[in-house]
Structures are given as structure tokens and as C-alpha cells.
Amino acid sequence: MVTINLAETSLRELNQQLHRIDPGANDRDFIVLNPRGAHAVAVGVDAPVNIEIKGSVGYYCAGMNKQASIVVDGSAGPGVAENMMSGRVLVRGDASQYAGATGRGGLLVIEGNASSRCGISMKGIDIVVKGNIGHMSAFMAQSGSLVVLGDAGDALGDSIYEAKLFVRGSVKSLGADCVEKEMRPEHVELLSGLLARAGISDIRPQEFRRYGSARTLYNFNIDNADAY
Amino acid sequence: MTYHNPPTTPRKSATFDDYTLSEIRRAAVTGIYDIRGAGAKRKLPHFDDLLFLGASISRYPLEGYRERCATDVVLGTRYAKKPIELKIPITIAGMSFGSLSAQAKEALGRGATLAGTSTTTGDGGMTQEERGHSEKLVYQYLPSRYGMNPDDLRRADAIEIVVGQGAKPGGGGMLLGQKISDRVAEMRTLPKGIDQRSACRHPDWTGPDDLEIKILEIREITDWEKPIYVKVGGARPYYDVALAVKAGADVVVVDGMQGGTAATQEVFIENVGQPTLACIRPAVQALQDLDMHRKVQLIVSGGIRSGADVAKALALGADAVSIGTAALVAIGDNDPMWEEEYRKLNTTAGAYDDWHEGRDPAGITTQDPELAARLDPIRAGRRLANYLKVMTLEAQTIARACGKNHLHNLEPEDLCALTIEAAAMARVPLAGTNWIPGQTPL
């Protein structure tokens, strides 16, 4: 176990240490103390390590993460796990806007609420939010899944491509080209797997409704001008 | 006696000219606004409206073929541990794989490397062809984040955060479905054959304060090694450059409205932004006001065609220029050798701009494997290198005539303007006068 105290160690030293992990090193577990809302904590990690951040973080925590399992034992500022490639990021508190933006892989779990633009332009990441999400979430979402146990705000999935959205609570409004879709057995199976990966065992997939693209805006057509 | 009305010559409207009439008819029939590539085609105040004042008695020229005139430039000296060192101050602008064929991207990499300069990725991400053949490669971090990958970020020599481009400040892009091959679809994480909308803004930041933190994140990921460029479309150059500097940019790229694009609305290309000539002095002014001129480097792009354009941009205060459309022409775009095929596409060599349709006879702006195979990347790379070297020689020739032993020693005092408009925009005197409109009394 390696402990890094950001009250004594600079952000640069922390990230440098995480970037220089020897593939054969025995120390695979890191504790980060006193993040105190710092931005860019544990960004660009590319190693199968466990990092626990004891406190709340600012912008872009775990940005572009690969392989690592990162836990934020607090809340996360904007852009947590942005463009994540693989691995797992868990936020025990709330997350601010753009959580998991443009993420390409891995799993982001938010135990509290997420703000607006959650999963914006997501490209393969899976996101599970136990609370609510704000407006414009999954805007232009390309692929991956967004699971929301609470409610979704306005314009969910606006201009969505192939991402799959599952919401257990209410949806204030759907964005352009986003429609409710049938929950077929393969979606129940997919959702079951996602809930299990997020450590959720007391909620059934059948409690969710599925949303996705109507695919009417996939190729430009002047007859759809009202939608633009 | 009978009087006959004499025949009159038919007169067409200057407002409703032939092109305008054809556009109205096309819109009425198809219901689609014109989408095209390239930059503004309308006549704009440009570098042609400036002239150099070669040395006579009051200034002392350098010997053309004997005395050295240096051309090197270092980009990213503000924060980056590894600034980019280039032999010439002419770089290749970002153009995406997807918009361009793999052969074209390889040719750009080969040509830039031969000439000692950098090339730049684009919306489609980084290809092996491009990385493999580019000694210096700038990786664009775009709003769409298509192909964004931290491994590629680390493999780059610099990172360019694209906020806007000259052809469409504030606008996104549209790569129509017909150009989406299997490879392009895979790189962009989208199904084959559907339109690829490139966002007009970054999804995970909303203003200059966010940009500052975004730059911090990218620097942390890349261990503060790579220069961070910020590219803006030339619309409000003073304020955008100042904010880019505040956000921590090592290099600012200002792309004027003659700057090209892969595909966007004609109405946007021709009606949004400011001419490149008008963008340079406000951008330089912002750097000077912040005491950052030459500390944060300025790259100017948008319609740069010749060594004279290069020398003029540098004289007005830029550290380097970037070329896109001209580089495509150098490797064979719109070449008259394909005239017969251009005719079949209802156009002519020199006017072909439907790059989004993927039917480029020259094999450059296409993903059709048969068309793309027409472009020999080695030969095309050589052509680009020749062109870059000629531009450099031209700029050196002018600089020597102005008595400068480095292109960066060119200055506004070496210039005068042919028109009042150009004099006002470039802030140099109207030829034959000491009058700089808006700066000095008439």
C-alpha cells in the first residue's frame, strides 16, 4: 500500500508516480489523502492498479483512465472519468456535469447524483448512476450504456446515436430523435450484467425503461428540418 | 416612317448573378443547402493587397545567394519540456483521416518531414500512416473526440486543442455517410454509412476557465512534455487569443476565414468570420498587451499560398503559418490531369469542392479504395516537400531584400498597403502615404 498525501506532495508528483508504475511492481494499491478538490487527480493512469482517493476532487479526476480501478471517497467535480478507455471508476458521492464524457470503455459508477451532460458524447463507456442525472445527458451519445436508478432531466439522449439508455425513474423530456424502446430479453440481460458489475443486487432490470435513437436523423433529410 | 426599337443587350443582375441563380434553383429542387469543402471563395482583402518595401538607401539589403537568412522556429517554449523545433515556419494544418484518404495523410507526413516541418491530425484521430511518416506530428483534440486516445496523445509531439476553425467559427461539421468506410466507422465509433456530426463545442467544458483546467489535465496526462496549441477561428482574434493565453496555451493558432474545411455549409464558409489579413494584428496586439509576443507563439492560417504570403504573415507578427488547401493542391488536388473526370462530376479542375461526396478523382478527399490508390504517397510527398521549400526560398528572398537575416526579423515597417481596407486591417501605411487608417492622422 502506497499512501500519497496531497497536502505534502504535489499533483505533478502524484500523477508522475502513477504514470511510472513498473509492470512488475508489487505495490498495486494507492491511497491518496487530502485531495481537497484538486483538479486532474489520477489522470492518464495506464496500469491495473487500485487507487482510493480519500475526499472530494475537482475537474477531470481519473480522466482518460486505462486499466485502473479508482475510487473517489467523496464527490467529483466536472468531467470525472472523461474519455475513460477501460478500468473502473467509482464515485461514492455526487458527480458534477459531464461525468464520463466521451468515455470509450470501462465502467463509471456514481453512487449519488450526476449533474447535467452525464455521458455526453459517450463512445463505449458504461455509466451507472444510482441517483438522478441532469439535463442534456447522453447528448450525441454514440455507444455504451447509461443506467440511471433515479430520474433524468430534460432532453435526455438528444441527437443520440447507438448508445443504450436505461432509466428507472422519470424522464423529464426526451431530446431530438430519442425515443422509448421495448425492453427485449437481450436488454434485460445487458442491464442485469451492468447492475451486477456496479454491485447492485436489490433492483430488478424490469423496473427500468429503455431509450435509444429513432435513427431518423442519421442521414440528413430536409423533411426533418424541424428537428434541427 | 416606321420606327423599330433597336435591339438591347441582355443584362444580368449583379445581385442575382449566374452563381446565385443556380444556387436558388438547386436549393428549390433538392431542399438541401450546399455543403462543400475548402474555404471562402469570395474575394476578400488578402495578402495580395500588401507590398514589401525592399531596401535601397535607408535600409540595407542582404546578398540573395550568399548571405544567410535563417528560417527555423521553435514552438511551445512557454511551458513544454519538449518544444517543437522546425526548420521552416510553415506547418501542415489539421486535416482528418476520413475526410482525406490514408494515402493523402501519408503524403502529407512524408512531405512535411522532408521539408523539416510538422503535420497535424484531424477529426478522425491518428493513423499509423500519418504517425509513421511524420517526424513531427501535432495531435488535434477536437470537440467530437472521434478517435481520441491517450496513447495517441502520448505519441504526439504537440497537442492542438481545436476550439474553432476559420471556415466555420462556432460551427461543427458534417461528414456525410457516403464517406464512412469500415475503417472510418471503426475509428469514429459510429455505424457505417450514417452522417457523422462533429460537434461545434467541446462536450466537457464551457468556457475559458474550464479550458484552463482542461489544459492542466492534458499536461498532467502527458507529463508536461508536449506543447499545447489552442486553435481558434478568426472571428474575435484579440479576445480569443488573450483568453487562450490566459488558459495556458503554449501556442495559439488563428485560422482566418479563407481557411478550409472538409465539409460544411457554403453559407457558413462565405459569411462567418474575418479575413486572415484582418486577424493577424489584433492577435499580435493581444500577445503584446500581455507581454507574451514571441513567448506564446502565434501560427496564422487561412489561404496561405506562397512565400510572399508567408513573409507578410511573419512581418505582421506571426511566428509561423499553417497551410491546408495549398498542401492538398501540392499533392495533386484539383489537378488538370483529371479534368475529364471532374467534368463528369459537373465541375472543373480548380473548382472541385464536393469533398464530402467521396468521389475525388485525385484520390485525396475520398475513402474509395480505387480512387485513393491513384495517389502515390511517395511522389505526392516529394511534391509537397518541393512546394514547401519553394515557399521558404521565396520568403527568404523577400526577407533578404528587406535586409533581414531571419524571417522572424521581418516587421510591419517592411510593408505598405495597396488599398485602404488592407492598410486598416494590416495596420500598415497606404502605399505612397504615412497614413494608417485608424492609427495615424490622414
Q: Read out DSSP for B87-121?
A: SSSEEEPB--BTTB-HHHHHHHHHHHHHHT-EEE-
pLDDT at A228 over 70: no
Instruction: List the one residue out of B149, B165, B142, B144 whose CA is nearest residue B93.
Output: B165
What is the rounded CA–CA span in Å between residue A188 and residue B157? Answer: 45
Q: What percent of chain B has pLDDT over 90?
A: 83
pLDDT at B173 over 80: no
* pLDDT for position B280: 98
Per-residue pLDDT tens over the stretch A18-34? 999 987 888 899 999 99
Inspect the interface and report whether the beta carbons of A43 and B217 lie closer than 8 Å: yes
Question: Sign of dihedral through CA atoms B160, B165, B171, B174?
Answer: negative
* pLDDT for position B7: 86
Per-residue pLDDT tens over the stretch B41-74? 999 999 999 999 999 999 999 998 889 999 999 9
How far away is chain A from the Cα of B403, in angstroms, using its nearest Cα? 46
Per-residue pLDDT tens over the stretch B255-265? 999 999 988 88
Inspect the interface and report whether the beta carbons of A85 and B149 lie closer than 8 Å: yes
How far away is chain A from the Cα of B200, in angstroms, using its nearest Cα? 12
Q: How far is CA B96 from the centre of its chain?
A: 13
Q: At what angle do helices B276-289 and B237-247 cross, to 10 degrees?
A: 40
Mean pLDDT confidence for A189-214: 97
Q: How far is CA B315 from the centre of its chain?
A: 18
* pLDDT for position A34: 98
Q: Which of B15-29, B316-330, B373-387 has the lowest mean pLDDT?
A: B15-29
Of B148, B194, B217, the CB nearest to A40: B217
Q: At what angle do helices B208-221 and B237-247 cross, to 10 degrees?
A: 40
In chain A, which residues have their Cβ closer than 8 Å to the Cβ of B153? Answer: 64
Question: Sign of dihedral through CA atoms B333, B336, B339, B345?
Answer: positive
* pLDDT for position A227: 65
Residues 6+ apart with CB under 8 A from B159: B138, B139, B140, B141, B153, B218, B222, B226, B227, B228, B229
**DSSP secondary structure code for residue A130 in this structure:** S
Per-residue pLDDT tens over the stretch A76-85? 999 999 999 9
Per-residue pLDDT tens over the stretch A134-151? 999 999 999 999 999 999
Residues 6+ apart with CB under 8 A from B224: A12, B79, B80, B81
Q: Read out DSSP for A4-59?
A: EETTTS-HHHHHHHHHT--TT-S--EEEEE--TT-SSTT-S-BSS-EEEEES-B-T
Per-residue pLDDT tens over the stretch A86-99? 999 999 999 999 99
- Residue bearing the bigger pLDDT, B422 or B441: B422
Amino acid at B359: R
How far away is chain B from the Cα of A201, in angstroms, using its nearest Cα? 31
pLDDT at A224 over 80: no
Minimal Cα distance from A59: which residue of B? B213
In chain A, which residues have their Cβ closer than 8 Å to the Cβ of B151? Answer: 46
Of A117, A143, A222, the CB nearest to B203: A117
Per-residue pLDDT tens over the stretch B144-154? 999 899 999 99
Report residue A30: phi and psi, to 5°. -125, 140
Q: How far is CA A28 from the centre of its chain?
A: 23
pTM over 0.90: yes
Write out the three cell numbers for B231: 486553435
Q: What angle do CA A28, A31, A35 make, to 5 degrees?
A: 140
* pLDDT for position B124: 82
Q: Is B46 within 8 Å of B277 (Cβ atoms)?
A: yes
Residues of A at the B interface, defined by Cβ within 8 angstroms: 11-12, 15-16, 19, 39-40, 43-44, 46, 58-60, 63-64, 66, 78-79, 82-83, 85, 98, 101-102, 104, 117, 120-121, 123-124, 139-140, 142-143, 159, 161-162, 218-220, 222-223
Report residue A78: phi and psi, to 5°. -60, 145
Per-residue pLDDT tens over the stretch B419-430? 999 999 999 999
Report residue B139: phi and psi, to 5°. -100, 120
- Residue bearing the bigger pLDDT, B237 or A223: B237
Of A16, A63, A218, the CB nearest to B217: A63
Inspect the interface and report whether the beta carbons of B213 and A117 lie closer than 8 Å: no
* pLDDT for position B1: 65
What is the rounded CA–CA span in Å between residue B38 and residue A37? Answer: 45
Q: Which of B3-17, B65-79, B231-245, B326-340 has the lowest mean pLDDT?
A: B3-17
Average of per-residue pLDDT values in chain B: 94
* pLDDT for position B179: 67
Residue with the three cell numbers 451507472: A128
ipTM: 0.95
Per-residue pLDDT tens over the stretch B369-416? 999 999 999 999 999 999 999 999 999 999 999 999 999 999 999 999
* pLDDT for position A99: 98
Q: Is B167 within 8 Å of B264 (Cβ atoms)?
A: yes
Q: How far is CA B86 from the centre of its chain?
A: 18
Mean pLDDT confidence for A5-20: 97
